[in-house]
Structure 1
Amino acid sequence: MRTLLALMLCCAAVPAAAQTPLHPFPQHVNYAAGSLRVSHRTQAQLDQDVRDAYARWKTAYLRTAGTDGGGNPLYRVLCNTDGNGNTVSEGQGYGLVIVALMAGHDPDAAAIAAGLWRYADLHPSGIDNRLMSWNISAAGQPQEGNDSAFDGDNDLALGLLIAAAQWPGPTPVDFRANALQVLAGQAGSVTGPASKLPLLGDWVEPDGATYDQYSVRPSDFMPAHALNFAAAAGGAPIWSQSIVAMRAAVEHLQTTYAPATGLVPDFVVRESAGSAQVKPAPPDFLEGPNDGDYAYNAGRVPLRLATHALLHGDADAARQARRIASWSQAASGGVATNIRPGYRLDGTPLATNYFTSFFAAPIGVAAMTAPTQQSWLNAVYDSVRTRQEGYYEDSVALLSLLVMSGTYWDPVAIDRLFADGMQRIAP
């Protein structure tokens, strides 16, 4: 859709060898020195846990969606399984990352990855068509505004880069070229020109009256993604600047507004006029009464921070992830099923009547950065490894299981392993 060349590539015949992934699952990678691994299950058991979780996820949420104009299959991820369900860009991003990592185990991964991207490409934002419209109905129509959401496109871009690392030769989709187009959209339309923070979407004006370049969502802070984007984009400075800005924002939020817990809120706003600092958003700022709490957006933050620390040895991200992991172990009494579904920033639970893998699984990843939390890591892993709840919970949990099993990688990490001559951990 975006270029005639891309359409021609989609329709081209592909040699069978081009569908063989270079890094088939499971890739057992070495994480940063001093990090923990799940210790009470063998590597073979951990790998099977991921395969089982992937099978559950794929059966429940991955669907064919017809074909494009060239007869190529389309795939989409359901975010709502009531009836036929709709699809959000966030789900397409999760799906592309997951499927590309599961290549080798899933013989259809190349076709599915291409189909997930084609579906995203056929539903562009009406503001910046390099980005995906954030919410698409089962009938293929934009819902709640034809605009983008930062997190969906960010994961789509990373998924495309992982797919390009898996299948760098001639393929039905030029994964790398399309990743670069998404990155150009992210840099041009959804990164604050002064703040360098990720805007909520391409609908936000950087200096808008209510929503601006400082009214952002900390769960959109994905420093490992940005490191990969910098490498893919030839060292474009905007991505390293974004990493610095995200790191500073998390540090300020943790030390100023949650010194006892390390928790960060779902949304933040500018601290004061002219300030470059952020503070928790007020209730009902965008989504609901818990917009300034650690709720169903911010629950992903430990996963994002810890992934950067584990894959790339970032000491600041490790320290920030450890704050949340250490507090959660103490607050839960070391019982993983005592992790509550959201908290005030002071640690007061938002609700106490249920447990969900959405909040627990990312904390397990964060525990990997804390040398004293082996028993906590093992307990959290056990609490989530076989659960099935819903699209959002299961997608985040599967990404977390990939990290906790030692089988998650990104292109920068895998390239470093080869460049340094490091050996993967044996199966």
Structure 2
Amino acid sequence: MQRRLFLRSGSASAVALALAACGGGGGGADGVGNLATGVGSDTVGGTSASTTRPAVDGPDSYPFGSRLDAYVAGILPSAAAEQMDAAVRRAYDAWKARAITDVPTVRGGKAVRFGNSTAYLTVSEGMGYGMLIAVLMAGHDSGARALFDGLLTTVRARPAYSIPDVGRWLLDWRLTIDGSSTDAAGGGWNAMDGDLDIAMALLMADRQWGSDTGAWNYKQEAVDTINAMKAWNMKEDGTTKGMATPHVSRTSDYMTGHFRAFKRATGDALWDRAIDRSYELIDRMQTVYSPNCGLMPDFIIHTDSPNPIPSPGGYGDFVDTEGFYYANAQRNPWRWGTDYVTSGDGRWRDVCNKLVGFVERDCGGDGSRIAAGYRLDGSAIDRSYSPEGMIGPMLCGAMVDPRFQGFLDNLWNWNANNFTTDYYDSELQLIPMIVASGNWWNP
């Protein structure tokens, strides 16, 4: 299965295509500039990394396992809290040992490995996942803040240098094996999903550790990234966009729980519109194009028209599976189930009910039998293996309704007993396990 598509050409046109393939960008196809700031350097937010103060350990305001904020809706697995916490701790320790690496070209920098690639060290989505995991696991891992700051050091040392004006607050979407930025790797463009998670993690870090000590003002860094995404990745009506093709929108960028946090942090009504627009688009996909299954595609096109449609292929990741529930959309139940249990917004319960209800029927309640992807009519793409990256996010989708209790328990047990440390799949298991165990919280 081809999990991700990354173009390897360094030409200007291919760089724009690579950006869309990772779901980033904004501003139209002519928005290609070159602000070579930070390429191959150790700069962090315009300041040498060597001049930052060392990270400060603790105190942790929201240590793992404390469950200070009860979920407002939904259900949890039937397992005891202590049992679930133990499973998450084991998974985290295994993930950290395999995933985290030093960045040779960034002093003090850390990165989440991009699998077993010998060409690329990391991608921005992985960096976002790592920062979320680190801030959530403080209290179990005494080195969580140091890890978080190491990841942030790399993020700020490798800005999206091709994006005018606001690129310094966004991350170059792919780094070479030594951690450098080059036109042949990420090209200095951002990927929205990575920056969305980075901004959310920064807001969480402000709650966890405060912004008055250590090397970073987490709150200000978060607001700077949020505003940069508003300028580059968003339309005024709340629609996310891709740079090469601004009418293309990736459904897994509809991180509605993050949008709520951004609204609280900035007071900007754009993020309310982003939630409404995300629901409008997903409801159309489920109602018009998958009425019997409640599925949604990886990408939607013609979002600037009255009639958006699933991508026929060749617009987002530039593959023919863009109109399927596949390697991007598989993350959606994690995002929307998490939002529902913490916000109580019934729209996302309804969306997940349709989707999870179909998947439960399709696999007979046995998560190991979930297909690696589905066409919108419900036909399976591949059943030759148990896809961890598809099974993990379904945990959060099944949390929205008591009728899924048996399925949720099955999914929890399978993920807890079949955790992988392979990139992308491991993060798509670990973060949903944190959510399902009751350990997610908002800034």
TM-score range, shorter chain: 0.7 to 0.9
1:303 aligns with 2:342: no
Greater shift, 141-150 or 123-132, is seen at: 141-150
Structure 1 unmatched ranges of 5 or more: 205-210, 412-427
C-alpha distance in structure 2 between counterparts of 1:85 and 1:63, whole Å: 13
Amino acid at match of 2:95: W
Aligned match of 2:138 in 103, 106, 119?
103
Partner of 1:55: 93
Aligned match of 1:282 in 295, 306, 312?
312
Partner of 2:403: 372
1:177 aligns with 2:220: yes
Deviation at 1:275, TM superposition (A): 2.0
**Contact 1:11–1:172 at 8 Å: present in 2 too?**
yes
The within-5 A match list for 1:128-147 is 128-139=167-178, 140-142=180-182, 143-147=185-189
C-alpha distance in structure 1 between counterparts of 2:49 and 2:420, whole Å: 40
Partner of 1:167: 209
C-alpha distance in structure 2 between counterparts of 1:394 and 1:258, whole Å: 29
C-alpha distance in structure 1 between counterparts of 2:83 and 2:98, whole Å: 23
1:50-86 Cα distance to aligned partner (Å, 9 max, x none):
1011011111111122475xx5x21111112244852
C-alpha distance in structure 2 between counterparts of 1:167 and 1:109, whole Å: 11
Indicate the SS of the match to 2:110. Answer: strand
Amino acid at match of 1:161: L
Indicate the SS of the match to 1:118. Answer: helix
Q: What is the aligned-residue RMSD (CA, Å)?
A: 1.9
**Contact 2:248–2:316 at 8 Å: present in 1 too?**
no
1:229 aligns with 2:248: no
**Contact 1:10–1:172 at 8 Å: present in 2 too?**
no
C-alpha distance in structure 1 between counterparts of 2:126 and 2:51, whole Å: 22
1:67–1:134 distance in 2 versus 1, CA, 3 Å: closer
Amino acid at match of 1:36: I
Deviation at 1:199, TM superposition (A): 1.8
1:357–1:149 distance in 2 versus 1, CA, 3 Å: same
The within-5 A match list for 1:214-293 is 214-233=247-266, 235-270=267-302, 275-287=305-317, 288-293=319-324
Greater shift, 383-392 or 317-326, is seen at: 383-392
1:13–1:264 distance in 2 versus 1, CA, 3 Å: closer
Deviation at 1:162, TM superposition (A): 0.8
1:270–1:106 distance in 2 versus 1, CA, 3 Å: same
1:22 aligns with 2:61: yes
Q: TM-score, normalised by structure 1?
A: 0.87
Amino acid at match of 2:261: N
Amino acid at match of 1:11: T
Partner of 2:352: 321
Greater shift, 282-291 or 357-366, is seen at: 282-291
Q: Which runs of structure 1 show a deviation greater than 4 angstroms over 4 or more consecutive aligned residues?
A: 1-4, 6-10
Indicate the SS of the match to 1:275. Answer: coil
Deviation at 1:276, TM superposition (A): 3.8
**Contact 1:336–1:376 at 8 Å: present in 2 too?**
yes
1:9–1:157 distance in 2 versus 1, CA, 3 Å: farther
1:330–1:7 distance in 2 versus 1, CA, 3 Å: same
**Contact 2:99–2:421 at 8 Å: present in 1 too?**
no
1:45 aligns with 2:83: yes
C-alpha distance in structure 2 between counterparts of 1:248 and 1:62, whole Å: 38
Aligned match of 2:382 in 346, 351, 370?
351
1:156 aligns with 2:162: no
C-alpha distance in structure 1 between counterparts of 2:343 and 2:202, whole Å: 20
1:298–1:10 distance in 2 versus 1, CA, 3 Å: farther
1:323–1:10 distance in 2 versus 1, CA, 3 Å: farther
1:323-360 Cα distance to aligned partner (Å, 9 max, x none):
11111111111111110000001110011211111111
C-alpha distance in structure 1 between counterparts of 2:198 and 2:436, whole Å: 22
Indicate the SS of the match to 1:391. Answer: coil
C-alpha distance in structure 2 between counterparts of 1:100 and 1:376, whole Å: 29
1:366-387 Cα distance to aligned partner (Å, 9 max, x none):
1110111111000111121232
1:88 aligns with 2:126: no
C-alpha distance in structure 2 between counterparts of 1:38 and 1:224, whole Å: 21
**Contact 1:218–1:268 at 8 Å: present in 2 too?**
yes
